[in-house]
Chain A
Amino acid sequence: MALIKHGKLADNIWHDTDEFAELQALAPLGPVIVDLDIWRQHRDEILAQIARIGGRIGLRLTPGQTPDLVAADLDHFELIELQFAKFTDGRAYSQARLLRGRHGFKSELRASGDILRDQLTFMLRCGFDSFLVATDHQAEAILEAVEEFAHWYQPALDQGATIPALRRRIHGAAGASTADCAAAWAY
């Protein structure tokens, strides 16, 4: 597996588990990602363990699990992983936007699963900032795709100005009266 984080290849420091018993064994090794079931069943124990011996916790949501389910707990997670089981399953795009835009999640937002070069810009624009892909070779190919578009039409979670915003800067509020399209338009 190869990890892209903030536009560069990076080491993956996170462990992954589906079982609480394993979590306790992994915790001393470093940060651990758990699924929603473990979090719900063992939330208090996990928080107590972190309070006692320290540790960092991440959460993995499946595509059907709305971020609303953990809205109140988001401060506890240093990472949330969203899954693309198939690249055609676009639910994680909405999950990402809700986590970032609505719930204000600021830490690492990781995409895993079937991540293709041609979906990367969509993921970046929805707020993902790390990507777990199969091989280094794939990761390098994916990184090339980031520069393909300069501007986009619709607002999302990336920093660039949208095309409508750039037009307003150029034309100003009275931009409608150019020679090409000089006409009255009244409601």
Chain B
Amino acid sequence: MYRYDEFDHAFVAERVEQFRGQVARRIAGELTEDAFKPLRLMNGLYLQLHAYMLRVAIPYGTLSARQMRKLAYIARTHDRGYGHFTTRQNIQFNWPKLDDVPTILDELADVEMHAIQTSGNCIRNTTADPLAGVAADEIDDPRVYAEIIRQWSTLHPEFSFLPRKFKIAVTGSPNDRAVTRGHDIGLRMHRDLQGRPGFEVMVGGGQGRTPIMAKTIRNFLPVDHLLSYLEAVLRVYNQLGRRDNIYKARIKILVQSEGAEKFAELVEAEWLQIRDNAVDLPMEERDRIAAYFAPPRYDDLPDVCPALDLAIAADRRFAAWVESNVVAHKQPGYAIATISLKPHGGIPGDASADQMDAVATLSEKFGFGELRVSYKQNLILPDVAKADLLALWRALDGLDLGTANAGRISDIIACPGLDYCNLANARSIPIAQRISERFTDLQRERDIGDISLNISGCINACAHHHVANIGILGVNKNGTEFYQVTLGGVATEDAAVGAIIGPAFDEWQIADAVEDIVDVYLHQRQTDETFIETYQRIGPQPFKETLYGTDQARQAG
């Protein structure tokens, strides 16, 4: 893991002191709320429906056990005993008091964390493949580059007041687990013919009210030029992005209006001017950062683990958990385990302080004291010896963290919705709870197999409903909440935006509608087809007919 050196420590401490001064000026009445707002937002502090909300950055979703314990401590001491993990691999605290926030930031700085740029029209926390460094299919470790981007983008003097927020995601693997095409800039690693690593640069993705998947503007950017190229993209955007309309201000609108080819030309022209200047890190600096992400000292283990095979044969619940929540590790004898934060009927992404503490301990017992947060709002233990999986699952099961549903229909991504958020039009959490309660039968969830279901409480699409196989969007019609359904979205390397299936459902119909959609799939699927494969083969019509009846389906279609 990356560790702060004296410069990082000093920088974050200076930032905390700066914010402490700003909060003091706000409380003393020297700063109006209007003047304070951009300052608190640059430090991750939002004003929500009922209270302030503090969003803490978890750079590229990587946490140490010590950091997780600190998050538990903050949840317990300064909040109401829980935190909410987000699709941007961050954590949100929903009830901090304003005058506590500088102290919370001090506590975070102690464990090398901060809330810088988790909000505002600046470069946000860079996200990455949550399986970085351990995935069997990886070309190179994206955390190295995500950390380089984190440092470069931190309080960037030129790019802190962009037209709109700016999100960058990095994957080092051909199987995209970071939704790179859904970002303002997506970086996907490839190797050239000489075997040198570089990035495919995709620009202009985003969801919100205009969902667009990013276009590739450069097929191969040598890693040495990463920062100068990013600087070129950002400079073009900072000058030309629209500032007259908040809904047209994201870079996706600029790329769309200029055309991807023209936009690429503008970037290349700017990059030619700066590609050899000082912004790119020299090789030894990059290597110095890369060294922090060196693999831990794995034991030399056989990849075949008879004890695990026996345990799988002996316990159906454990077998189901291994099937859904455990994936292959690049190191023989090890596995990657997902800790589901989606208990049936629970609040997606929430973890209690006690659960956080317990998970920190498990990461030390069954790994090297490291944890990951995934964009699916789950936690991941990256380095579990296969022989330890049973003991791990038993411990998780006792903490209500052992649900065997990673990648299943109850692994729902949901935003906080109208229960917390002042932008929301409708509640997300109760809908997620109601739907997941329909799928408590383990055998049925296994039978349905890989599927994604995401619920956003407003058009801002924080839960990524556009790229879910089944997307649900909360809308408000004359004071009543309704839920619009999209089908066919894909969040992986073949990213696609789903299409609206027909008229919206009310809060009592929506769970039935989801069950109907699943039933159509189960009846229509051919051998081994996943939900999305069936949908792509048969199209929306059979779903429309079941949901709305034949007449209405014809109208809707």
Using CB atoms and an 8 Å cutoff, list the residues of chain A in contact with chain B.
Answer: 66, 87-91, 93-95, 97, 102, 116, 118-119, 121-123, 125-126, 148-156, 162-164, 166-168, 171, 173-178, 180-185, 187
Contact = CB atoms under 8 A, between A and B. Distances in A.
A88 B121 contact: yes
Interface stretch (B6-14, B172-180, B367-375, B441-449): B6-14
B291 interface: yes
A184 B294 CA distance: 7
Contacts of B239: 66, 91, 94-95
Interface centre among A125, A151, A164, A178 (most CB of B within 10 A): A164
B38 A87 contact: yes
Given A87-B38, A91-B238, A185 B291 contact: yes
Contacts of A88: 38, 121, 161
A176 B197 contact: no
B38 A163 contact: no
A91 B158 CA distance: 8
Contacts of B153: 154
30 contacts: A89-B243, A90-B121, A122-B155, A122-B157, A123-B157, A126-B157, A126-B158, A150-B10, A151-B7, A151-B10, A154-B279, A156-B158, A163-B7, A163-B11, A163-B151, A164-B285, A166-B7, A167-B288, A168-B282, A173-B284, A175-B288, A176-B284, A176-B290, A176-B291, A181-B288, A181-B292, A182-B294, A184-B294, A185-B290, A185-B291
Contacts of B5: 167
Nearest to A174: B284
Contacts of B277: 155
B353 to A, nearest CB: 29
A184 B293 CA distance: 10
A153 B235 CA distance: 18
Interface string B480-507: 0000000000000000000000000000
A116 B227 CA distance: 28
B314 interface: no
Interface of B: 3, 5, 7-8, 10-11, 14-15, 17-18, 22, 35, 38-39, 121, 140, 151-162, 195-197, 227, 235, 238-239, 243, 273, 277-279, 281-282, 284-285, 287-288, 290-292, 294-295
Interface centre among B227, B282, B291, B292 (most CB of A within 10 A): B291
B125 to A, nearest CB: 15
Contacts of A163: 7-8, 11, 151
B273 A149 contact: no
Given A93-B238, A149-B14, 17 more contacts: A88-B121, A89-B243, A90-B158, A90-B162, A91-B238, A91-B243, A93-B158, A93-B161, A94-B235, A122-B158, A151-B10, A154-B152, A164-B151, A167-B5, A168-B284, A177-B291, A185-B290
B157 A93 contact: yes
Contacts of B161: 87-90, 93, 119, 122
B281 to A, nearest CB: 6
The 6 closest A-B pairs by CB, nearest first: A183-B294, A90-B161, A125-B157, A181-B291, A122-B157, A155-B278
